Amino acid sequence: MAKRVVITGMGVVSPNGVGLADFLEALKQGKSGIRHVAKYEELQMSCHVAGVPEFEWDKLKSYLSEVSFHGLKGTNIAYGITAALDAWADSGMPYETDEPHWDTGCVFGNSAPDSDATKNVINKVDNKEVKKLGSRIVEQTMNSGVTSFISGRLGLGNRVVTNSTACATGTQAILMGYEYIQSGLAKRMVVGSGEHIDTYIFGTFDSMRVLSRKFNDQPERASRPMSASSGGFIPGSGAAALILEDLDFALARGARIYAEVLGGAANSGGQRNGGTMTAPNPAGVIRCISDAIASAGIDPADIDLVSGHLTATMADRQEIQSWSNALGRSGKDFPLINSVKSMIGHCLSAAGSIESVACILQLIHGFVHPNINLEDPNPEILKIIDAGCMPTKMIKKDINLIAKANFGFGDVNACLFFSKYNKDK
Amino acid sequence: MTREEILDELKSVFAPYTTNKEMLANINDQTDLITDLKINSANLVDIIIDAEAKYNIEIDYDSADKMINVGSCVDVIAEKLKQK
């Protein structure tokens, strides 16, 4: 029989709050983490703002040995370690262990290894200084650097995987961890994802003209999902991690249970019928949501909240149309819907995990975070759902069932359902 | 530069790569980098790179292979300094 999977710990490094307490407050207050980045203006980018966590590098010293800390330069790795170790501690587990945790694995994703670290390699190699690179570079330029640091620090002995599906990475990491536990392959999984948008990654998106450039002088207003004035997305950096456990395993060790992962699905639209490298095939999105509904065994009428992908591009309208079709709900009957990206921008690979932590916080604290900057809802969206479905102020409300989805370049989709833990399910 | 001076300075070169601070404070020629100072063997190359930068010398592969305990590190560095 399939195992039930629960969430017992979380950690987050978000542009609008580092650590669960700060992130929770930021979500409730609708606090923006979008800041002006002088470097982007200097480099003549079109977009000059980004979601940047207020990350204190020296705090890493309390997470890593002095030897590991020395020589660590990869920011994405630093974010990932912080989120994962915070989540582990939050689940009530100690960092130290002599024997590997054979029953615990890790799926943690990122879009690219740190390109500043890669730049260092390119410069030294081209400059005939390859001998000066040293031993600490490979671990920071290999794509599995983050999972290697996390699993090494915590002594994880089950399967350790680095996943990557663009903006669906974080959601997919959670789904993969859920599937390993559900099928009995692992008792516990550290899942999540990270992203550090350095100037080079930022530049590749800026060049595509998909970033907002109309609010460079008002960073906090720049990310505007679902609004008529949305003019592209704002990249953001950060990481988040969740500890998933087999329900019986969690109960046996007396763990605090935050919520349950009821099910989920991932697929691709095949880059057909409107789907391209950069745009989703709506049939793929609808199928992914429908498959997730079937996997979770829920009735779409019971969904309280949709945490959308909703990046603040032209794609927002089509996304809401796909949700509406998949759920069979529209107008005033549509669930509440919000986008964490209005506050933190689009954290690419980290989006799914940071936004999932936001979902769980809303479940356990009984609120719906506001969509900030939604001053002028897109009229085309209002033809599908009622304006009241898109809260612009925080709503205090008992939330039991949340749908979370993210869609990524390559026409890849991932959808999850989270609910409160009910022991009598 | 005397052997004693080099040995004393090497403590700061080794420091980032060992958590065994007590042993580091009392190193002598016989102290083994891997078994005594518990330095990860992969980090030996970093110690060589750091020593090259610190003394502005070049340590070739053959000399580097000899650097397994504190005494041999001092010998190699002293020899390279003499060649400058």
Domains of chain B, earliest start first: 3-83 (1.10.1200.10)
Alpha helices in A91-144 (DSSP H): 115-126, 138-141
Mean pLDDT of A236-250: 98
Pairwise CA distance, residues A124 & A311, whole Å: 37
Q: Are residues A113 and A190 in the same domain?
A: yes
Domain presence at residue A425: no
pLDDT digits 0-9 by tens, A116-157: 889 999 999 999 999 999 999 999 999 999 999 999 999 999
Interface A-B: count of C-beta contacts within 8 A: 24
Domain presence at residue A381: yes
Q: Are residues A190 and A278 in the same domain?
A: no
Type of residue at A339: S
Task: Give the closest of A67, A134, A136 to B19, CB-based.
Answer: A67
Pairing of the two strands A238-246 and A367-368:
unpaired
Q: Are residues A140 and A229 in the same domain?
A: yes
To probe the interface with B, which of A64, A67, A139 has the most B CB atoms within 10 Å?
A: A67
- What confidence category does residue A263 fall into, taking pLDDT thresholds of 50, 70 and 90? very high
Among A233, A259, A285, give the residue marking a domain's end: A259
Q: Are residues A356 and A223 in the same domain?
A: no
Q: Are residues A308 and A163 in the same domain?
A: no
- % of chain B exceeding 90 in pLDDT: 95
| Nearest residue on chain B to A69, alpha-carbon basis | B16
Whether the CB-CB separation of A187 and A157 falls below 8 Å is answered with no
Among A225, A259, A293, give the residue marking a domain's end: A259
The phi and psi torsions of B2 (rounded to 5 degrees) equal: -80, 165
| Nearest residue on chain B to A71, alpha-carbon basis | B16
Contacts of A57 by beta carbon, 8 Å cutoff, 6+ apart:
A78
User: Nearest-CA neighbor of B54 among B21, B18, B10, B1?
Assistant: B10
The tokens of A371 are what?
């969509």
Query: Per DSSP, what are the bridge partners of residue A331?
Result: A385
The pLDDT assigned to A335 comes to 98
Type of residue at A297: G
Contacts of A70 in chain B (CB under 8 A): 16-17
pLDDT above 90: residue A114:
no
Pairwise CA distance, residues A368 & A365, whole Å: 9
Interchain CB distance below 8 Å, B45 and A135 = yes
Q: Are residues A338 and A395 in the same domain?
A: yes
- % of chain A exceeding 90 in pLDDT: 97
The pLDDT assigned to A343 comes to 98
Q: CB distance from A96 to chain B under 8 Å?
A: no
Mean pLDDT of A68-88: 95
Contacts of B49 in chain A (CB under 8 A): 131-132, 134
Q: CB distance from A132 to chain B under 8 Å?
A: yes
Q: How many domains does chain A have?
A: 2
Interchain CB distance below 8 Å, A136 and B46 = yes
Interchain CB distance below 8 Å, B49 and A71 = no
Pairwise CA distance, residues A65 & A77, whole Å: 15
User: Nearest-CA neighbor of A326 among A352, A298, A351?
Assistant: A298
Whole-Å CA distances, A209 to A138, A214, A226, A240, A349 = 33, 12, 18, 28, 19
Domain presence at residue A11: yes
Average pLDDT score, chain A: 96
Interchain CB distance below 8 Å, B46 and A135 = yes
Domain presence at residue A111: yes
pTM equals 0.96
The pLDDT assigned to A254 comes to 98
Half-sphere exposure of A181 (CA within 13 A, CB side): 31
User: Nearest-CA neighbor of A389 among A406, A399, A377, A380?
Assistant: A377
Q: Are residues A251 and A326 in the same domain?
A: no
- What confidence category does residue B72 fall into, taking pLDDT thresholds of 50, 70 and 90? very high
Q: Are residues A225 and A293 in the same domain?
A: no
Range of the domain at A44: 5-259
- What confidence category does residue A28 fall into, taking pLDDT thresholds of 50, 70 and 90? very high
Contacts of A348 by beta carbon, 8 Å cutoff, 6+ apart:
A111, A166, A167, A169, A195, A197, A201, A235, A236
Whether the CB-CB separation of A72 and A78 falls below 8 Å is answered with yes
pLDDT above 90: residue A1:
no
To probe the interface with A, which of B19, B22, B23 has the most A CB atoms within 10 Å?
A: B19
Contacts of B43 in chain A (CB under 8 A): 67, 135
Type of residue at A25: E
The pLDDT assigned to B84 comes to 82
Domain presence at residue A424: no
Three-state DSSP string of A28-94: HHCCCCEEECHHHHHCCCCCCEEECCCCCHHHHHHCCCHHHHCCCCCHHHHHHHHHHHHHHHHCCCC
pLDDT above 80: residue B52:
yes
Q: Are residues A294 and A229 in the same domain?
A: no
Mean pLDDT of A183-187: 97
- What confidence category does residue B32 fall into, taking pLDDT thresholds of 50, 70 and 90? very high
Among A209, A233, A259, give the residue marking a domain's end: A259
Q: Between A64 and B84, name the one with better pLDDT.
A: A64
Domain presence at residue A29: yes
- B49/chain A closest Cα distance in angstroms: 6
CATH number at residue A69: 3.40.47.10
pLDDT above 80: residue A336:
yes
Q: Are residues A288 and A313 in the same domain?
A: yes
Interchain CB distance below 8 Å, A131 and B49 = yes
